[in-house]
Amino acid sequence: MSETETAHKAWNETWKSADGRAIWSEPEDEVRELTATLRDRGAETALDLGCGVGRHAAYLASQGFSTWALDGSETGIEHARGLTGEAGLDVTFDVGLMTGLPYEDVMFDYILSFNVIYHGDKETVIKAVSEIRRTLKPGGIYQGTMLSKRNGYFGKGKEISTDTFIYDDDGSGDEAHPHFYCNAGELVNLFEGFELISLHDLDHSHRRPKHWHWHLVAERLP
Ligand SMILES: C[S@@+](CC[C@H](N)C(=O)[O-])C[C@H]1O[C@@H](n2cnc3c(N)ncnc32)[C@H](O)[C@@H]1O
């Protein structure tokens, strides 16, 4: 585990409250929208990496994918297990970290990691991307987000290493933990070994003002 890989501890606290969980209960439209493409490509196995309280893991299992889900937060996994259990959905859960996935090489046709892998410094992100590449099949699809340098938090607080900031506003949010930001060119370099299918910078203003995130879909190259 890298020293900067600590944000899951803040999320563990967030997931303990109903208010904290409330805005993370419905699958994102873009995840639903990719389902038809995944089916066309014959995808069967899916990993929800950093699954939080399980909204996407539950969705993927409901769509017939053999689904695994991992998170660093034990509380998140507990709620995700509850959600899928109540719905009678079969998901294999693991508590673990994105920099050391407990999965075999080339196991997944699809890996989703929504608002997860930028939690840490550049080295942590590089390791997480390499774990995604290792566990994804050649031709498999990665869908995820990264923090954009347009984001209002970029440059705020203390820069602990290149493009990695901690911002301890009131001590309650995960900004007090390292977050890594990149521009489009830097993102393309981080995802060496993948071919981008789409890349959009979107403002998650429903969560906070100027909360820009890159949204990417990419194919793992052989
Ligand atoms: C913003 S939440 C997103 C949750 C989920 N992907 C969703 O869209 O509902 C970020 C999640 O990433 C997890 N996380 C952060 N750093 C992690 C790490 N290094 N390894 C595994 N999980 C991590 C947190 O515990 C948290 O559940």
CATH number at residue 163: 3.40.50.150
pLDDT at position 173 over 80: no
C-beta of 50 in contact with ligand 1 (< 6 A): yes
In this structure, is residue 2 part of a structural domain? no
Number of domains within the chain: 1
Q: Is the pLDDT of residue 3 over 80?
A: yes
Is residue 215 within 8 Å of residue 199, measured between CB atoms?
yes
- Tell me, yes or no, whether 184 lies in a domain: yes
| Interval 9-38 mean pLDDT | 96
Can you tell me whether residue 32 is helix, strand or coil? helix
> 3-class DSSP state for residue 46?
strand
Q: Assess if residue 27 is contained within a domain.
A: yes
Higher pLDDT, residue 81 or 171: 81
What pLDDT shows up at residue 207? 83
Mutation test residue for ligand 1: of 8, 93, 98, 129, the one with most atoms within 8 Å of CB: 8
Q: pLDDT tens for residues 96-139?
A: 999 999 999 999 999 999 999 999 999 999 999 999 999 999 99
The pair of three-digit structure tokens given for residue 183, joined into one six-digit string: 């521009």
**Residues present in the chain in total:** 222
Q: Does residue 37 lie within any of the structural domains?
A: yes
**Residue 88: pLDDT band by 50, 70, 90 thresholds?**
very high
Q: Is 73 in the pocket of ligand 1 (CB under 6 A)?
A: yes
DSSP letter at 156? -
> Does residue 97 have its Cβ closer than 6 Å to ligand 1?
yes
147 within a domain of the structure (yes/no): yes
Residue range(s) defining the domain that contains residue 11: 7-220
Among candidates 71, 80, 101, which has minimal Cα distance to 9?
71
- State if pTM tops 0.95: yes
| Cα 38 from Cα 174, distance rounded (Å) | 32
* Nearest residue by C-alpha to atom 14 in ligand 1: 8
> Directed axis angle between helix 74-86 and helix 55-62, to 10°?
30
Burial (CB < 10 A; 0-12, 13-18, 19+), residue 141, is buried
**What is the phi/psi pair of residue 103, to 5°?**
-125, 155
How confident is the model over 82-96, as a mean pLDDT? 98
Q: What is the mean pLDDT of the chain?
A: 96
55 within ligand 1 shell (Cβ under 6 A): yes
Helices (H), the chain: 7-14, 18-22, 29-40, 55-62, 74-86, 122-135, 184-190
* C-alpha to C-alpha distances, 193 to 54, 173, 221, nearest whole angstrom: 28, 33, 5
Question: Which of these, 105, 99, 93, lies nearest to 48 by C-alpha position?
Answer: 93
